[in-house]
């Protein structure tokens, strides 16, 4: 059942939320030993919540558009009283005293949170192998990675452990695992979904979005979690039109560009072929398809790997052993800080903190962080020109299908290349999503990325629905 | 140097004939908002440790700052009062590890502060340039337990985050102060301005006003700045003066003995009256400033700034100028004191109500240190008028004033209640004439020039009138009778 179907059945009393939740919890109990999608399954709370929803329905109240829908949360979203680990040892023992805004909105819409999913530590990675709790496996082929950093959420949906999961996308961390696991994944426009309660990796890039099996489910979830939030200063202040409402409007007359910079070198031919097929499908549905170019997009990855670590080096400073999480004693406060951080952070996190610290240092700021910000502006300007001619763009989401566990862990640069197609959108703040569109030569899922200008979600979802229907 | 300046002790006389002290001050003031700079926790002094907190002021993972509009308004008030340009500004993160800083970075403003290029005028008339006055958040407080509270000997430390996130305005002045006295006048002036515009309570003793001072010395006449040292932990105007004097002396001694000044951050120790090296420039933090991505650039509309400007109360400098206009012969420091104590309105009204300016200002400066209480301007003017007419002696006037401060009312009623009825001249004359005829020996000795006898006669008059008579008037009368 899709989320939309579950909600309809629960709201109408055809099915109890408790039955739905029990069913999904059963699937987790049965299958997650192999997949390891979850860091924590909140069984008791989920069942109690489902019962409360059933009582509400029985009392004639409407629990909301996600009534009884099980939702898995990436373990970097704060849940009151429930451990939130970011898959890091450094947050050992910490349970937030508050819920993230998205959690509040899910609750208000009748959703049932079933657990917290595995991720690359602090969302740094593209394979979910950088987790202190061990890797998550791809349900399509358990010898492969699910992608990352929201690999646990993508895998949970792909494995049928939950119809909906939330992830966070800083450089592709929703779209890339969605592509690798064969599910829909959305990176909304920066500011559309509140970041309050999302443990920060890179504040100017982070954005929360849904994983689902269908485009309509993602639209429903996005409509629930998006909207202004006074607790996030970067939240867009005006409510946006419903994405679900125009989902079936088609793409007739839309101008769709195939982004040249993300279709050539480094893209596996079988993946590139699926993107061409997607473009054709849109054309058959009435869209006008042409080549598009944003020349500076090729510098996106370099700029990203300076800006994101720079912000991360500052965002992760607070894990110092003083207030919460892990503390390893030392002879002095600085010794304690060092011992705690040395023991608490994994290698990739340390690598990025060092890169970021360096990029912001006196004497290097202009050459690294400053230059990267200029490149970011160039990319924004290039895309602004593109949007004068096109309504949407298509590209691969990931240059390859899912790679094997361990294949890229020894080579950070190879791992970083996984993000080459997804990173530019985070730098510009635009909307993008990955829609499954067939398989590669290895039989593994290929995701097509649809890019839209800021707040272009309604049009982007129309194209996604067309691709889904023509699959 | 103006005549007013000369009236202030210490000012205008350099401490050293060969060296000049150069001081630049950074004043941090806590803004008097209801809530913190980026969260809804109360901004309140005191309270049990860690009770004025929330996820944002603790910097919990996932929390985000939201700018307090009132703090911005107060910062703009301060900027306007300091004659600054109000400009679009950007918050920045100042990164360094410290346990009482919850996020291990401080949200401050760096290369684009809200207020720039201002000035303030000391009561002496000297103008000091203000480089900037920017917004930032305060840190918590660390308490070291054991080892007498000293960090190196402490058994452990506790942190109270009640103060973390309290809004601060940091006012950075140009190094244009030339003595400890000027520095004190400057801080007093900043404080008066902050209090006048309602931006801060300005209490140094509660830490809501804190000063870091940069001190250097140079040969008199040189226009190059010497190597400076920054002094921290200056917690009162008195310590500020002492610290600057000590530090300037220390630097002069080093230079005259052929040694160089090392650029350092130094700690003022109130107990031994010295500054001690904390860290050298090389050991200083690299703060890795970068724009705060969790906050939007701040761009107050010109209309809003203009509205704030219209609503600004009268500032200390203008208030001093108005008072000088009506009381031109008053010392500059007395004028400044009246304004600082917020008694300039009272003085102005009393003078405008007919009170002699000198007498009014004397009462304001010397006799009303605890505030005016129930005293009205009319009553003060009336009291001064009675003194002018010789109806009250200076001593009596002080006692009448005390009654007026405590309970209000008119000076006539107060004088009567104290038994200070005015003596008319005829009554006094007949009393003096009677004494002269009753004490012929004393009178002839007085006439021969024995000054001691003045006291005898005055004393007799005071005794007979139970102190109602004016001693000066009696003396005058005696001399006039002598012929």
Report pLDDT digits (tens) over B192-219: 999 999 999 988 888 899 999 999 999 9
Phi then psi for residue B132, to 5 deg, are -165, 160
Residue A218 falls in the annotated catalytic set: no
**pLDDT reported for residue A112:** 98
User: How far apart are the C-alpha atoms of B210 and B198, rounded to whole Å?
Assistant: 17
pLDDT band at B10 (very low <50, low <70, confident <90, very high): very low
pTM (predicted TM-score): 0.89
pLDDT band at B425 (very low <50, low <70, confident <90, very high): confident
- The angle at the Cα of B325, spanning B321 to B329, to the nearest 5 degrees, equals 105
- Comparing alpha-carbon positions, the chain B residue that sits nearest to A98 is B55
- Comparing alpha-carbon positions, the chain A residue that sits nearest to B38 is A231
Q: Which of A352, A320, A291 is nearest to A125 (CA)?
A: A352
Answer yes or no: do B60 and A324 touch at CB < 8 A: yes
Q: Which residues of B touch A (CB under 8 A)?
A: 55, 58-67, 93, 95, 97, 99, 102-105, 157, 159, 286, 288-290, 293-296
Interchain contact A196–B (C-beta under 8 A): yes
Q: Which CATH number fits domain A3-246: 3.90.1150.60, 3.90.1300.10, 2.60.40.10, 3.40.50.150?
A: 3.90.1300.10
**pLDDT reported for residue B46:** 85
Mean pLDDT of the B118-137 span? 96
Comparing A21 with B340, the larger pLDDT belongs to A21
The closest CB to that of B62, out of A197, A337, A360, belongs to: A197
Indicate the SS3 state at residue A240: coil
**pLDDT reported for residue B279:** 87
Mean pLDDT of chain B: 90
Taking a C-beta distance cutoff of 8 angstroms, is the pair A176, A211 a contact? no
**pLDDT reported for residue B282:** 75
Neighbouring residues of A195: CB distance < 8 A, sequence distance ≥ 6: A203, A206, A207, A208, A232, A234, A235, B64
Reported as a single tens digit per residue, the pLDDT across B18-71 is: 999 999 999 999 999 999 999 999 999 889 999 999 999 999 999 999 999 999
Q: Which of B194, B208, B170, B195 is nearest to B46 (CA)?
A: B208
Taking a C-beta distance cutoff of 8 angstroms, is the pair B355, B385 a contact? yes
**Residue burial A194-223, b: 16+ Cβ < 10 Å; e: rest:** bbbbbbbbbbbbbbbbbbbbbbbbbbbbbb
Mean pLDDT of the B324-330 span? 91
Q: Where are the domains of chain A?
A: 3-246
Residue in A173, A296, A398, A434 annotated catalytic: A173
User: How far apart are the C-alpha atoms of B139 and A352, rounded to whole Å?
Assistant: 27
Half-sphere exposure of residue A438: CA atoms within 13 angstroms, side-chain side:
17
Indicate the SS3 state at residue A315: helix
Kindly tell me if the per-residue pLDDT of B333 is higher than 90.
Answer: no
Contact list, A324 vs chain B (CB under 8 Å): 60
User: How far apart are the C-alpha atoms of A45 and A71, rounded to whole Å?
Assistant: 12
Interchain contact A189–B (C-beta under 8 A): no
**pLDDT reported for residue B481:** 86
Give A347→chain B minimum CA distance, Å. Answer: 20
**pLDDT reported for residue A117:** 98
Mean pLDDT of the B167-180 span? 97
**pLDDT reported for residue B152:** 66
Answer yes or no: do B102 and A318 touch at CB < 8 A: yes
Taking a C-beta distance cutoff of 8 angstroms, is the pair A320, A337 a contact? yes
Contact list, B102 vs chain A (CB under 8 Å): 318, 323
- The angle at the Cα of B222, spanning B179 to B11, to the nearest 5 degrees, equals 20
CATH 1.10.10.410 region(s) of chain B? 425-482
User: How far apart are the C-alpha atoms of B171 and B173, rounded to whole Å?
Assistant: 6
- Comparing alpha-carbon positions, the chain B residue that sits nearest to A361 is B288
- The angle at the Cα of A153, spanning A312 to A210, to the nearest 5 degrees, equals 85
**pLDDT reported for residue A305:** 95
User: How far apart are the C-alpha atoms of B44 and B161, rounded to whole Å?
Assistant: 12
Residue in A127, A149, A226, A244 annotated catalytic: A149
Taking a C-beta distance cutoff of 8 angstroms, is the pair A114, A94 a contact? no
Phi-psi label, residue B467: left if phi above 0, alpha if psi -120 to 50, beta otherwise: left
Kindly tell me if the per-residue pLDDT of B480 is higher than 50.
Answer: yes
Residue A313 falls in the annotated catalytic set: no
Neighbouring residues of A426: CB distance < 8 A, sequence distance ≥ 6: A169, A170, A171, A172, A187, A190, A205, A207, A304
Give B333→chain A minimum CA distance, Å. Answer: 46
Domain range B425-482, CATH class: mainly alpha
Torsion A377-A380-A382-A385 (CA) sign: negative
Answer yes or no: do A200 and B62 touch at CB < 8 A: yes
Answer yes or no: do A77 and B62 touch at CB < 8 A: yes
- Comparing alpha-carbon positions, the chain A residue that sits nearest to B153 is A332
Answer yes or no: do B105 and A362 touch at CB < 8 A: no
Could you please report the per-residue DSSP string of B20-54? EEEEEEEEEEE---SB-SSSSSB--S--STT-S--
Host H or E run for residue A415 = helix A412-416
Judging by beta carbons within 10 Å of its beta carbon (0-12, 13-18, 19+), is residue B303 exposed, middle or buried? Answer: exposed
Using CA atoms, how far residue B112 sits from B50, B64, B120, in Å, is 32, 21, 21
User: How far apart are the C-alpha atoms of A149 and A189, rounded to whole Å?
Assistant: 19
pLDDT band at B14 (very low <50, low <70, confident <90, very high): very low
Taking a C-beta distance cutoff of 8 angstroms, is the pair A236, A191 a contact? yes
Comparing A423 with B5, the larger pLDDT belongs to A423
Q: Which of B204, B209, B113, B228 is nearest to B168 (CA)?
A: B209
Question: What tokens does B85 get?
Answer: 């340009």
Q: Is ipTM over 0.90?
A: yes
The closest CB to that of A317, out of B62, B105, B286, belongs to: B105
Per-residue pLDDT of chain A (471 residues; tens, 9 = 90+): 999 999 999 999 999 999 999 999 999 999 999 999 999 999 999 999 999 999 999 999 999 999 999 999 999 999 999 999 999 999 999 999 999 999 999 999 999 999 999 999 999 999 999 999 999 999 999 999 999 999 999 999 999 999 999 999 999 999 999 999 999 999 999 999 999 999 999 999 999 999 999 999 999 999 999 999 999 999 999 999 999 999 999 999 999 999 999 887 789 999 999 999 999 999 999 999 999 999 999 999 999 999 999 999 999 999 999 999 999 999 999 999 999 999 999 999 999 999 999 999 999 999 999 999 999 999 999 999 999 999 999 999 999 999 999 999 888 888 888 899 999 999 999 999 999 999 999 999 999 999 999 999 999 999 999 999 998
Residue A149 falls in the annotated catalytic set: yes
Which alpha helices (H) appear in B312-393, and where do they start and end?
316-326, 332-340, 344-352, 357-362, 377-388
């Amino acid at each position: 059942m899709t989320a939309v179907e579950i909600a309809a059945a629960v709201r109408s009393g055809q099915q109890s939320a408790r039955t739905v939740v029990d069913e999904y919890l059963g699937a987790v109990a049965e299958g997650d030993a192999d997949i390891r999608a979850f860091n924590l399954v909140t069984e008791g709370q989920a069942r109690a919540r489902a019962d409360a929803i059933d009582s509400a329905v029985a009392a004639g109240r409407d629990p909301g558009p996600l009534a009884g829908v099980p939702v898995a949360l990436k373990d970097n979203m704060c849940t009151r009283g429930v451990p939130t680990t970011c898959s890091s040892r450094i947050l050992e023992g910490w349970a937030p005293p508050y819920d993230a805004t998205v959690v509040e909105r899910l609750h208000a819409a009748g959703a049932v949170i079933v657990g917290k999913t595995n991720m690359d530590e602090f969302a740094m990675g593209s394979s979910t192998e950088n987790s202190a709790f061990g890797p998550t496996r791809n349900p399509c082929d358990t010898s492969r990675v699910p992608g990352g950093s929201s690999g646990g959420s993508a895998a949970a949906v792909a494995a049928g452990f939950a119809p909906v999961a939330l992830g966070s996308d800083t450089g592709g961390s929703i779209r890339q695992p969605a592509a690798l696991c064969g599910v829909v994944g959305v990176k909304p426009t920066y500011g559309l979904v509140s970041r309050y309660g999302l443990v920060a990796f890179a504040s100017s890039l982070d954005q929360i979005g849904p994983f689902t099996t269908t485009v309509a489910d993602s639209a429903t979830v996005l409509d629930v979690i998006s909207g202004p939030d006074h607790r996030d200063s970067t939240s867009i202040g005006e409510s946006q039109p419903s994405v679900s409402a125009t989902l079936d409007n088609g793409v007739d007359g839309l101008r769709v560009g195939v982004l040249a910079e993300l279709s050539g070198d480094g893209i596996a031919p079988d993946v590139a072929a699926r993107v061409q097929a997607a473009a054709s499908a849109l054309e058959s549905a009435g869209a006008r398809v042409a080549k598009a170019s944003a020349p500076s997009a090729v510098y996106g990855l370099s700029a990203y790997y300076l800006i994101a670590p720079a912000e991360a080096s500052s965002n992760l400073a607070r894990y110092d052993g003083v207030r919460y999480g892990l503390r390893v004693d030392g002879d002095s406060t600085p010794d304690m800080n060092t011992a705690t951080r040395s023991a608490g952070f994994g290698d990739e996190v340390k690598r990025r903190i060092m890169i970021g610290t360096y990029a912001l240092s006196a004497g290097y700021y202009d050459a690294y962080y400053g230059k990267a910000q200029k490149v970011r502006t160039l990319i924004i300007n290039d895309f602004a020109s593109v949007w004068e001619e096109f309504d949407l763009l298509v590209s691969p989401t990931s240059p390859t299908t899912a790679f094997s566990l361990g294949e890229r862990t020894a080579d950070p640069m190879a791992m970083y290349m996984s993000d080459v197609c997804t990173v530019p959108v985070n730098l510009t703040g635009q909307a993008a999503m990955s829609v499954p569109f067939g398989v590669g030569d290895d039989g593994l899922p290929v995701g097509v990325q649809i890019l839209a200008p800021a707040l272009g979600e309604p049009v982007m979802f129309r194209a996604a629905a067309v691709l889904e229907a023509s699959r | 140097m103006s005549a007013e300046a000369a009236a202030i002790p210490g000012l205008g006389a350099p401490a050293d004939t060969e060296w000049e002290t150069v001081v630049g001050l950074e004043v941090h003031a806590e803004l008097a908002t209801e809530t913190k700079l980026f969260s809804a926790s109360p901004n309140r002094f005191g309270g049990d440790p860690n009770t004025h907190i929330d996820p944002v002021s603790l910097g919990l993972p996932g929390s985000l700052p939201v700018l307090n509009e009132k703090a911005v308004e107060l910062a703009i008030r301060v900027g306007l009062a300091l004659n600054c340009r109000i400009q679009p500004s950007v918050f920045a993160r100042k990164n360094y590890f410290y346990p009482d800083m919850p996020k291990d970075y401080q949200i401050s403003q760096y290369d684009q502060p809200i207020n720039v290029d201002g000035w303030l005028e000391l009561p002496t008339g000297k103008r000091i340039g203000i480089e900037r006055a920017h917004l930032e958040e305060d840190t918590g407080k660390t308490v070291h337990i054991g080892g007498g509270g000293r960090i190196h000997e402490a058994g452990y430390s506790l942190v109270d985050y009640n103060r973390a996130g309290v809004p601060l305005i940091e006012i950075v002045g140009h190094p244009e102060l030339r003595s400890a006295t000027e520095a004190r006048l400057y801080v007093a002036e900043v404080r008066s301005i902050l209090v006048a515009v309602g931006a801060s309570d300005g209490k140094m003793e509660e830490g809501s006003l804190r000063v870091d001072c940069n001190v250097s010395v140079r040969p008199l006449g040189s226009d190059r700045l010497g190597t400076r040292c920054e002094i921290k932990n200056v917690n009162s105007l008195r310590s500020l003066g002492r610290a600057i004097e000590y530090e300037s002396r220390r630097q002069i001694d080093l230079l005259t003995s052929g040694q160089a000044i090392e650029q350092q951050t130094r700690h003022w120790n109130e107990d031994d009256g010295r500054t001690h090296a904390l860290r050298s420039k090389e050991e200083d933090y690299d703060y890795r400033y970068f724009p705060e991505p969790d906050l939007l650039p701040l761009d107050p509309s010109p209309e809003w700034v203009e509205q704030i400007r219209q609503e600004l109360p009268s500032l200390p400098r203008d208030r001093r100028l108005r008072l000088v206009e009506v009381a031109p012969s008053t010392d500059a420091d007395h004028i400044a004191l009246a304004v600082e104590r917020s008694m300039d309105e009272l003085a102005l009204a009393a003078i405008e109500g007919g009170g002699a300016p000198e007498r009014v200002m004397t009462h304001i400066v010397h006799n009303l240190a605890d505030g005016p209480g129930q005293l009205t301007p009319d009553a003060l003017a009336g009291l001064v008028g009675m003194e002018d007419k010789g109806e009250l002696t200076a001593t009596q006037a002080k006692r009448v004033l005390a009654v007026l401060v405590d309970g209000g009312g008119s000076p006539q009623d107060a004088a009567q209640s104290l038994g200070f009825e005015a003596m008319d001249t005829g009554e006094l004359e007949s009393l003096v004439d009677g004494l002269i005829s009753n004490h012929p020996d004393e009178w002839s000795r007085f006439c021969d020039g024995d000054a001691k006898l003045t006291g005898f006669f005055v004393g007799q008059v005071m005794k007979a009138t139970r102190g109602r008579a004016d001693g000066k008037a009696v003396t005058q009368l005696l001399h006039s009778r002598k012929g």
